[in-house]
Chains A and B, each alone.
Chain A
């Protein structure tokens, strides 16, 4: 039996909502289910902001969260009541049975149970206090209750709890007791539920490993597997955890990581290290990328390999640091002064984060250029179960050979070659001394601003990047759904593509001829493949999480066919329903289309 269950836990900051979600998804991933999960939390560490841990548990691969949850757990009714409608019919609603204080009318969850929903009032606080002497373990009581309610193996939960509190003996002990209290209470509960877990399905080939990790962790792992040896960075939400993970892991492999005084220093040191032959990277968010723009241009004209991981958040300026948005595409692709082409790749899921991070180092070295890996908060913090191959799928060293210097002749670092990629010596190579400069230069790297040279060098810097469109073993774009001509084609990028794919699949199940395409490589742009896809589509829909339609702008700069834009800046992932409704409308099936007819 295929399993597809979405669980949401809603609470207030300090309730342990996110911690409970973390244990739950770890336990379920450990049992062999596929997980996709994304939490919502306020920018403050404490206070009484709303926290939601949401996860979708499946046996088949899922691409996004669902519009509705099958299970809703309330740790704080004031925050959870507005989400009561998120629970599907016949879904299970778990909430606190007894309120300590007298609530205003409608203040208790019991007043908000929908007609088809199945209520499970649990004395959460009482069970926590009786089992542990404190009410701090309410979140763990709930986990015990869910384990019992769904007949899930308690051992998996105990393992995940043990892992969570491995350095806190007292908390581990209290959690064990609270978990048992919840489990025992569930045994005495009459189960009305139609939410049932089937057995997990394993599809892992020998040698590979499955791990549930988020986008930032996947980026760090990709960088490590590609042999990163130097990293310079500055903390910024939501990219910080990339640096934190590398700070722990890199020294274990002999690598070096430095927290610099600002983002300008970080990218400068990365370019310096790249010049010296290292595999170097930095990570940042939009504000940091703004500061890095000038040095990225230096990397372009100096033809120095460098890798920048960028996780976007709501902007402009300080914007919405803990909300997601895809509004830095223009800056990633075009940012900075001058004709400064660079490679920009945007993975669409957590597995893609791993692959793009590793491949970024290969491409930076192969084409001697800065490479930006562009993700966003939704992907940084989204957990997915990812299958990692036994051997990292990355080349360890693609540095160009320095080339043989002609006797007595100076070294031509920027030789104009047929494939536009020059030999590249690094400091320490005897006889190949040269200067890398931000000035326009001749083949030797000496300052020169003649019309012929600026034209030739500009052409070199642009043309060599086209080689990246054929970079081996790397998905630059991919088409899904119906083959051949379709009524509606959905084309999107980055974290938002999962929702687009789900919407496309549902539209197909409704009989709409529909296809979807993800574009991973944003610069250089895979014009030919995208134009071919668009030629197959009667209507083209471009959903993305920004106001201007930045990807649609990029698309239309390359392919002259009108598209329909769907833009949201809610700071949250787009709803599958919204995309689906737009597909129906474009296919002539929607309510709007019927009205118009």
Chain B
């Protein structure tokens, strides 16, 4: 423990200001509860956008409904705060309309794997070139603490006052089986690794899925607390081959002690590539790719 250095607030503030990442934070203050894991996610996303040097106006953050889905208001980019469960198809529309944009979809476990669960396989198999950040706190926070599809069996909430009888989903395993081309896991309580994973996910060309474990400090005092999560999470084995989907799926099956890191990555044509190849097959003319201009401008008759 001898190498831990003290951090002075003034120095930290100076470092943050000079990094330039404050340009990616909006003037709207997050509405989350004090102590919420999502604060570290918004900070990490701002830092990643800054690190990748993406112009604010070329980034679009799309969300559904839920605590996590308020996210677009807290970053200084274009954004869409849409309907419960529909972040992925809306993000697909944005990206299809303009490939020059960096599109990030964000949402919670209920948004993505209950009401919106039908859209995940299709965004993954099409390899839409977007990043999907799934904030998994295992609870419906915005409606005050009901069970979610990733809640533990036995969890007692207002809608399961005796106990939650349903077995939780394993989103990581699902997305790996759907054919996603980049799959990773991070924990809101480890902000440096979180930022590094988000940067990698955004830099990936294709559908990148980052599963982010986070506690709900207000409505879950028993299961997914900082204390429990902190003890459960571990690193992926150093010898894990991120090109091996089957190995990644075996590791993902251990959801009792979730491993953090890059599970799987492959390079393959994106939806945009596929749509461009259809234009070529049809003998049409490919619109040029002017920076940050909708593809349609060149497609006009």
Contact = CB atoms under 8 A, between A and B. Distances in A.
B94 interface: yes
Contact of B294 (A264, A269, A426): A426
A373 interface: no
Contact of B275 (A258, A265, A274): A258
B282 A427 contact: no
A248 B282 CA distance: 8
B278 to A, nearest CB: 5
Contacts of A274: 93, 97
Contact of A427 (B58, B90, B119): B58
A436 B65 CA distance: 13
B299 A255 contact: yes
Nearest to A225: B301
Contacts of A225: 301
Contacts of B301: 225, 227, 253, 392, 396
Contacts of A276: 60, 93-94, 97-98, 101, 294
Interface in B75-96: 76-83, 86, 89-94, 96
Given A227-B296, A261-B118, A261-B119, A256 B96 contact: yes
B168 to A, nearest CB: 24
Interface stretch (A49-57, A277-285, A570-578): A277-285
A438 B97 contact: no
B93 A270 contact: yes
Contact of B57 (A255, A275, A429, A447): A429
A227 B300 contact: yes
A496 B16 CA distance: 67
B204 interface: no
B73 A272 contact: no
A272 B292 contact: no
A157 interface: no
A269 B298 contact: no
Nearest to B291: A428
Contacts of B299: 227, 229, 253-255
Give the one of A269, A397, A433, A436 with max B CB within 10 A.
A269
A271 B93 contact: yes
A254 B287 contact: yes
Nearest to B102: A427
Interface in B264-285: 271, 275, 278-279, 281-285
B196 interface: no
B98 A268 contact: no
A458 to B, nearest CB: 19
B94 A268 contact: no
A273 B94 contact: yes
A303 to B, nearest CB: 12
B57 A264 contact: no
Contacts of B279: 251-252, 254-256
B56 interface: yes
A254 B92 contact: no
B291 to A, nearest CB: 8
Contacts of A428: 57-58, 98, 100-101, 292-294
Contacts of B275: 251, 256, 258
Given A298-B83, A410-B27, A436-B81, A254 B89 contact: no
B295 interface: yes
Interface string A273-313: 11111111000000000000011001000100000000000
Contacts of B286: 254
A426 B65 CA distance: 22
B35 to A, nearest CB: 22
Given A254-B286, A272-B92, A434 B97 contact: no
A433 B77 contact: yes
Given A428-B293, A433-B76, A435-B73, A295 B83 contact: yes
Interface in A210-258: 225, 227, 229-230, 232, 248, 251-256, 258
Contacts of A446: 28, 73
Given A278-B294, A427-B78, A433-B78, A272 B62 contact: yes
Interface in B93-129: 93-94, 96-98, 100-101, 118-119, 121-122, 126
Contacts of A426: 294
B83 A438 contact: yes
Contacts of A268: 82-83, 86, 89-90, 92-93
Interface in B12-39: 27-28
Contacts of B82: 268, 271, 295, 298, 438
B296 A279 contact: yes
Interface in A417-466: 426-439, 446-447
Interface residues of A, number: 56
A446 B74 CA distance: 10
Contacts of A266: 89
A435 B86 contact: no
B72 interface: yes
Contacts of A447: 73
A429 to B, nearest CB: 6
A260 interface: yes
A433 B284 contact: no
Contacts of B65: 438
A230 B58 contact: no
B79 A273 contact: no
A155 interface: no
B278 A251 contact: yes
Give the one of B28, B91, B121, B294 with max A CB within 10 A.
B294
Contacts of A261: 118-119, 121-122
A339 interface: no
Contacts of B118: 261-262, 265
Nearest to A265: B89
Given A260-B89, A264-B86, A279-B296, A427 B57 contact: yes
Contacts of B73: 435, 437, 446-447
Contact of A272 (B97, B100, B121, B298): B97
Interface in A336-380: none
B180 to A, nearest CB: 15
Nearest to A267: B89
A336 B92 CA distance: 23
Nearest to B28: A446
Contacts of A438: 65, 81-83
Interface string A581-597: 00000000000000000
Contacts of A427: 57-58, 60, 78, 94, 98, 101, 292
Contacts of A248: 282
B93 A232 contact: yes
Contacts of B121: 261
22 contacts: A227-B296, A227-B299, A229-B295, A252-B284, A253-B285, A256-B275, A271-B93, A272-B91, A275-B93, A278-B296, A280-B97, A295-B83, A295-B86, A302-B80, A427-B58, A427-B94, A427-B101, A433-B78, A435-B78, A435-B81, A438-B65, A447-B73
Q: Shortest 6 CB-CB distances between A and B: which pairs?
A: A272-B93, A269-B93, A229-B296, A428-B292, A268-B89, A251-B282
Interface of A: 225, 227, 229-230, 232, 248, 251-256, 258, 260-262, 264-266, 268-280, 294-295, 298, 302, 392, 396-397, 410, 426-439, 446-447
Given A258-B96, A433-B56, 18 more contacts: A227-B301, A230-B97, A252-B279, A256-B96, A258-B271, A260-B122, A264-B86, A268-B86, A268-B93, A271-B90, A272-B90, A275-B80, A276-B60, A276-B101, A298-B83, A428-B294, A433-B77, A436-B80
